[in-house]
Structure 1
Amino acid sequence: MSRTKRFRPTGAAVLIGAMIGMVGLAGCGAGQISQTSNQTAAVSGANVTVGHIAVRNALIEYPVGVRPAAAVYRRGENAPVQLTIVNESDAADRLLRASSRVAGSVQLAGDGALPGDHVITSGTKLQALPNSHEVQVTLAGLTDEIRPGLSYPVVLTFERAGDVVVDLPVGSPAEARLDEPASGGGGH
């Protein structure tokens, strides 16, 4: 009679196999192609760096007194933009113009000069920073409604840096949302 030998893995072989499997699975959870690599924060504005120009916390300001369920801005209205532009170079640059497909024009009020290591701010909620000055940026004559939860492209054109495209989200309301009580006496 012949006897067939059965292979029985030792405890060490099982442990090594389990460790290799865990290392392989851990590699699936991170990296440049992970699901979270292209997600952005839901609260703050857009951040873009092109060459020596850094645009930080750029967003369309949420107006005071607008209910969250409604469009924030209607066609034909103007929408103020809040942002910070940093020239990270020693060489001067200049914000020449801005444009957007959702506005008839983008108005720039103020001096677009951007000396080296200087900051331009726009928006009423920002405090003056050292080595900075303010330029008001406004999306004028909106061609589409502006709604919360969406972002809208704006192209900032600089003398040296060229075009910088920023997808502006709509900012959050300053006041907390107050829901109406449920009808029918349930209230839950």
Structure 2
Amino acid sequence: DGTLLGDNTDARGFIADLRDHAVDPAGRTVLMLGAGGSARAIAFGLAEAGAASIRILNRTATKAEELATTIVVQFPACRVAHGTLPDDVSAMAAAADLIVNTTSLGMSPNAETSPWPDGLGFDPDQTVYDLVYNPPQTRLLATAAGHGARAINGLGMLIWQGALAFELWTGSMPPIDIMRAAAEDAFGRRS
């Protein structure tokens, strides 16, 4: 009949990895850096998982605003704000329980880049999740860990995305431990 169906495992993979790290997004205030395709999936996943508030920052303010508007329409109980990256990071960072980098800043071969403003710290109660997994320790994650915050890279999300896609295709969940070992061998140890 010409109907095409598709699935996206980004959000489910991200939420599964958060939960593997004993981080439940329900009731949390989230600061998202970036408003591209990955950010869209992550924002929807966080709102669906019960995040109380999502603050979306992007270099192009209109992209952040468009994503925020879309989230509010679908999840009216979730408080959503938007702003400009990096200008509004300082104003929004302190209230965040979970900070998620969905940008490519820090990804190899540009590992020295970071979406986080120089000189701005983190709270030890914050969790910082960087979707980047190559290198395993980005400048953002090193800065977060240096301030005592919990730092998690995106390798677990990649593993869960693959596992969930495999399950969709085959009806069987693959062995996560074997997938994790292979990914860690290829990209380095999990944070």
With the length of structure 2 as denominator, give the TM-score of the two structures: 0.23
Higher-RCO chain (CA-CA 8 Å, sequence separation at least 6): 1
Q: Which has the higher helix share?
A: 2
Larger Rg: 1
